[in-house]
Chains A and B, each alone.
Chain A
Amino acid sequence: MARAQRLRTEALPATRGAILDRGGTPLVYDVDARGVEADPALVTDATAEAAMLAPLLGFPAAQIRHQLTVPGQFSWLAHGLTPAQGDAVIAANQAGVYVVKETKRVYPDGNLAAAVLGFTGADGTGLAGIEYVDNAVLTGEPGRLVEEVDPTGRVIPTGRSFEVAPVPGQSVELTIDRDIQWVAESTLAAQVKATKAKSGMVVVMNPQTGAVLALASVPGFNPADPVVPAGGTTGEPAVASVYEPGSVNKIITASAAIETGVVTPNTVITVPPYLMVDGTAFHDAEPHGTEHLTFTGVLAQSSNIGTIKVAERLGKATLYRFLRMFGLGSVTGVGLPGESAGLLPPPQLWSGTQAATIPFGQGIGVTAMQMAEIYSTVANGGLREQPHVVRGTVDANGVFHHALLPAPVQVIDPTTAATVRTMLQAVTTNGGTAPAAAIPGYLIAGKTGTANAVGANGRYNGGFVASFIGMAPADHPQLVVEVVLNQPQTNIYGGAVAAPVFRQIMGFALQTLRIPPSTSPPPVLRLYG
């Protein structure tokens, strides 16, 4: 019993693993911190003690006094203090106040990539983002140190002691590039503010590997103090938020049409000013007379009527097959929590008008991540790589272990993909809907989207979701950048509000990744028949 009185067991907390960017720079990591707890039963003069502690803890004295007088024998006064602050509290030597060791997550880049990183709760368990998904990997195992101590707490050297070393958590290395992430977030935030949009999303992906280089959402939040922002979320909208994509979805209709051979890029389509389908009149964005556009011209000018006519040649069943093969109606598996599969009903449930609207991206629900995956597939010669945010893990010895990814899937023929990429280069010319996305010196292929936004009641609310998704260099793409603005007020068109942000982010990414300008000449594209 005497020995038992001398034995002190100290829990040795295990450091939680860090989350690193693709360059190995920590985006969030553990530091030593101190917590201050109180035993109200032993507090002698709550008011005086609260006054002494207020400047040391940084809280108002009234709040501290309340915590010192709760019924019972335990209450928390503060968490996450620096060790120096903890020493100051120890030196103040207030009755019934104790300092304990704890750990704290530190975010050196502020709010950067907050939704991807996630955050931890008071007990250090991951609650959102990668902290949640990879919690088992990040959490170490606490150790134990048992020693014989004298009454003042000093270790008796001839006494027994044994130690079980803590096992530190492993670190998780993301595919995110810190600098591209910052540029994506800052340019998106500036445009959301300038256009008075409700929110915005950016996805930057490497089509050759499926690695997500940046994933930005505005408004973000502070992971060190995760309060849900007004009109925002602490989740990741790029995987969780479902919206109707609009014309950016035409890439699937185009790929299906070229792959099955129902049209070629130069097939001339007669585009009337309106088209009746199932008793409803469909128009294009700009009113026009009867035009004769090639299929390339239909895509460049984003003609809904032209798209409907091509989709009629495809048929519902074939279009649905390609929609599913490109990943719509399934989660991408990118590795973030709360991912939605979107909304894609089977063709037998399509209404008469849905058969007309789905080819141009209304009447179905998608996520921004699904759209990035689709464009990456076309960029990568029709080969769909697994989108992922985790590159691998780093163990306690500093050894990097690559994440295992499923095998890629060939969705369309490489020649089809090349043809579609050539056609989509017309979009960024002066005859297309997004000359603002062009980057001199580079071949850029992409598509605009200006889709009816859906309100909380499931009906169109009069707003629009403006997008631009593009790839560069178009002849052999190494990057896909997607920009989505939710209900911009100053201008609704993807070519006007999303394309300029694309140009900034893609420009920076090309520069930072040292991707040289295209050497092939721009293709000669015929828009009119």
Chain B
Amino acid sequence: MVPTARSRAPRAPFVVVVMALLTAGLVGLLLLNTALDEGSFALGNLQQQQAALADQEQALAAQVAAAEAPGSLAARATALGMVPDYRPAFIKLPTGKVTGDSPLVGTTLKVAGATPLGLVIGPAGGLLPASPSPAPSPLPSASPPPSPSPRPSASPRPSAHPTPAPAPSRS
């Protein structure tokens, strides 16, 4: 009887493979952890940026809110030389007849275009100044359109700049 040769599988490659696997696993874990930590650093940085931007937005929003407060607007209007006029007056369209508390009551004003929304409300004389306005108008100067086109009604608040006609708004 021949003794069975014990197949001595080479153990070195097995050990190498296992070691390699282990090493790969460890390196992988290390890389994963490093990536996660990098991500955590990046997250921290971005969160800081976000917080800074949020603070900036808050500061700007506060500036806007303060600027649009009625007291602010009144002060700026006074600085432009305007005076408050609390007399309610109305211009009935399309005839242009003036009613309410105005020295122009009973007269008819020429209105450049009709709005389909009916009454346009504003301070007496606000739509047609007696003389050409010296202040530059912020709206583009417009000749009346050939046919009435729908446009939003003028703001009910006294406008800061007298406009020659209800001008079309550009959105």
Instruction: List A residues at the B interface (Cβ < 8 Å).
Output: 26, 31-32, 82-84, 106, 108-110, 112, 154-158, 178-179, 182-183, 186-187, 439-442, 503-505, 507-508, 510-512, 514-517
Q: In the complex the two chains form, what is the Cα distance from A355 to B58 in whole Å?
A: 61
Residue-wise, chain B 63-94 has the 8 Å CB interface mask toward A (1 for contact) of 00110111100100000000010111110000
Which residues of B in the span 5-56 have a Cβ within 8 Å of any Cβ on A? 33, 36-37, 39-41, 43-44, 51-52, 54-55
Chain B residues numbered 114-171 whose CB sits less than 8 Å from any CB in chain A: 119, 121, 123, 156-157
Task: Return the contact of A154 from the options B44, B69, B89 (Cβ within 8 A).
Answer: B44
Set of chain B residues within 8 Å of A156, measured between Cβ atoms: 40
Report the minimal beta-carbon distance from B75 to chain A, rounded to whole angstroms: 11
- B69 with A108: CB separation less than 8 A: yes
Q: Is the interface of A mostly helix, strand, loop or mixed?
A: mixed
Alpha-carbon separation in the docked complex, A155 to B84 (Å):
58
Q: How far is the CA of A124 from the CA of B38 in the complex (A)?
A: 39
Do B69 and A511 touch (CB < 8 A)? no
Pairs A-B, 8 closest by C-beta atoms: A108-B65, A182-B70, A511-B88, A441-B100, A507-B86, A83-B55, A508-B86, A109-B69
Beta-carbon contact of A182 and B71 below 8 Å: yes
Contact A505 B58 (CB under 8 A): no
- CB of B41 within 8 A of CB of A440, answer no
Contact present for B36 and A511 (CB under 8 Å): no
Q: How far apart are the CA atoms of A178 and B68 in the complex, in Å?
A: 11
Q: Is A106 touching B101 in the complex (CB atoms < 8 A)?
A: no
Whether the Cβ atoms of B69 and A439 lie closer than 8 Å is: no
With a CB–CB cut-off of 8 A, which chain B residues contact A109?
69-71
Name the residue on A nearest B123 (C-beta): A511
Listed by A's residue number, 23 A-B pairs whose Cβ atoms lie within 8 Å are: A32-B58, A82-B59, A83-B55, A84-B55, A108-B62, A108-B68, A110-B71, A155-B44, A157-B39, A179-B70, A179-B157, A183-B86, A439-B88, A440-B102, A440-B105, A441-B88, A507-B86, A507-B87, A508-B86, A512-B157, A514-B156, A515-B88, A517-B90
Closest to A511 in B: B88
B55 and A112: CB pair below 8 A? no
Contact: A186 with B40, CB < 8 Å?
A: no
B121 contacts A441, C-beta separation under 8 Å: no
A433 to B29, CA, bound (A): 93
The residues of A that contact B157 with a CB separation of less than 8 Å are 179, 512
A512 to B156, CA, bound (A): 6
In the complex, what distance in Å separates the CA atom of A84 from the CA atom of B51?
11
Residues of A within 8 A of B65 (CB): 26, 106, 108
Most buried by B among A179, A507, A511: A511
Is there contact, CB below 8 Å, between A514 and B74?
Answer: no
Please indicate which of the listed interface residues B39, B44, B101 has the most CB atoms of chain A within 10 Å of its own CB.
B101
> Which residues on B sit within 8 Å (CB–CB) of A155?
40, 43-44
> Is the beta-carbon distance between B88 and A517 smaller than 8 angstroms?
yes
Residues of B within 8 Å of A504, CB to CB, are 86
A445 nearest CB across to chain B (Å): 17
Q: Tell me, rounded to whole Å, the shortest Cβ–Cβ distance linking A91 to chain B.
A: 13
Contact present for A442 and B90 (CB under 8 Å): no
CB distance from A520 to the nearest CB of B (A): 13
CB neighbours (8 Å) of A182 from chain B are: 70-71, 74
With contacts A83-B55, A441-B105 taken as known, whether A514 is within 8 angstroms of B100 at the C-beta atoms is: no
Of the candidates B43, B101, B121, the one whose C-beta lies within 8 Å of that of A439 is B101
Q: Are A106 and B70 in contact (CB under 8 A)?
A: no
A507 and B88 in contact, given A155-B44, A512-B156 (Cβ under 8 angstroms): yes
Q: Is the CB of A442 within 8 A of B101?
A: yes
* Residues from chain B with Cβ under 8 Å of A26 in the complex: 65
Q: Quote the shortest CB–CB distance from A73 to chain B (angstroms).
A: 29
